[in-house]
Amino acid sequence: MKVFTYNQYIKCIHTFRLNAVMQLAEESAEYNLEQAEKKYSHDKLIKNILQDKKEATKFINEFVEPREKVKEKELIRYTNNYITKKYKSKEADLIYKLKDKEMFFLIEHQSAIDNNMSYRVLNYCLDIMREYSMNKKMGKNMSYPIIVPIVIYTGNQKWKMPKKGKEKQISNYVFERYQIDLEYNFIDINKIPKQILLEKNTMFGYSMFLEKSESYEELIENLDIMIETIKNKEKLKELANIISYLLNDVLEEKVQKQLLQKIERKVGERGMSILIETLRKESMEKQINQGKQESQRKIAKNMIYLKVDEDIILKTTEINKEQLEEIKKELVTAS
């Protein structure tokens, strides 16, 4: 398991200025955004599934292989967004923290090759430590946390980028000890056979299986294979959830209905039709609520810019105190 520790952080700070690293990583990076945007919207499938603590726990234990298994009750979703100064839309996908332990898991899903992945990961790690030190008001006896960086790659091209930061730096034996020795955990979907992904019998395994789909037709074919292969009724219901919610904006309505009917026949429960209808309604309601929440946040941002009193913002919008503070932090970071 690859980690980013306090000693590495101190080494980074004393070797070069943080701003210089940020500029190198952000200005030189050739983010292949166009290629990423062309992917079907199920590109967000992994992120959505790993937002579930149960699935995130299974993923960490099975793919990162820590010496001690992580327990679901120990995992806490870290809500802070670590956004680079110039690429404000680019943020680490998921961050989890162990309860009562100063240890973070940083999960980044990458669908295209990024020549500066090691520096992007370094930036995220440094941002977490910087934010952590500010929130904790670091004293002389307080230590920085350990960060476990994880990159999940689902692109089609072979990943040839080094996983260690120092492999992207100039080699000089005289100053070798000043190289950044950060290495991220790398999970390449291309190297995991489809059958193995199905046998894992987890939502993450299923999502990676679907991520192997290179076209709309192959996506439907893979969904059919999953329906045929999965025996567990509860897992089939979870698959119905994926089809109804996570793939709702990808699948044609007719195809979606056919797939759900296949699951219904296989599960053989009267309540399945009700479940499917409920999932559809929940999907629509969730999309409406997400749009409404985003609208409320935009209103709040504008009111903050206009220096409107905090109490008025809370009464006018439907956001709470905690969300307001989070928006303020985002605006400070962006400025």
Looking at residue 64, what DSSP letter applies?
A: I
C-beta atoms surrounding 18 within 10 Å: 13
C-beta atoms surrounding 121 within 10 Å: 27
In angstroms, what CA-CA distances link 143 with 78, 140, 290? Answer: 19, 8, 38
Looking at residue 89, what DSSP letter applies?
A: T
Does residue 9 sit in helix, strand or coil? helix
DSSP string for 240-252: HHIIIIITTTTS-
In angstroms, what CA-CA distances link 147 with 76, 121, 181? Answer: 14, 10, 14
Q: What is the pLDDT of residue 21?
A: 36
Q: What is the pLDDT of residue 327?
A: 86
C-beta atoms surrounding 245 within 10 Å: 17
Cα–Cα distance for residue pair 46/76, rounded to 1 Å: 18
Cα–Cα distance for residue pair 26/174, rounded to 1 Å: 28
Q: What is the pLDDT of residue 72?
A: 92
Q: What is the pLDDT of residue 92?
A: 60
Cα–Cα distance for residue pair 157/54, rounded to 1 Å: 31
Tens-place pLDDT, residues 316-332: 787 888 888 888 887 77
Across the beta sheet with 146-153, the strand order is: 75-77, 94-98, 103-110, 146-153, 185-188
Report the predicted TM-score, pTM, of the whole model to 2 decimal places: 0.63
Q: What is the pLDDT of residue 98?
A: 92
Please enumerate in sequence order all residues whose Cβ is within 8 A of that of 180, keeping only pairs 6 or more positions apart, or say none: 8, 11, 12, 15, 122, 165, 166, 169
Cα–Cα distance for residue pair 209/193, rounded to 1 Å: 9
**pLDDT in 10s for each residue of the chain, 335 residues:** 766 664 555 455 444 443 443 343 333 333 333 333 334 444 567 887 888 888 899 899 888 888 889 999 999 987 654 444 443 444 567 899 998 888 899 999 888 888 888 888 988 888 888 887 777 665 666 778 889 999 999 888 899 888 887 777 777 777 777 777 788 999 998 888 888 888 877 888 888 888 888 889 999 999 999 999 888 888 888 888 888 777 877 888 889 889 988 988 888 755 555 555 665 566 556 666 666 677 788 888 877 876 778 887 887 787 888 888 888 887 776 65
Tens-place pLDDT, residues 10-53: 455 444 443 443 343 333 333 333 333 334 444 567 887 888 88
DSSP string for 63-109: II--SSPPPGGGEEE-----B-SS-TT-B-SEEEEETTS-EEEEEEE
Q: What is the pLDDT of residue 2?
A: 67
Cα–Cα distance for residue pair 223/212, rounded to 1 Å: 11
Burial of 56 (0-12, 13-18, 19+ CB in 10 A): buried
Q: Is 129:9 a contact under the CB 8 Å cutoff?
A: yes
Torsion, Cα 180 185 190 194, to 10 degrees, reads 180
Nearest CA to 220 out of 257, 192, 190 is that of: 257
Cα–Cα distance for residue pair 59/87, rounded to 1 Å: 28
Q: What is the pLDDT of residue 20?
A: 40
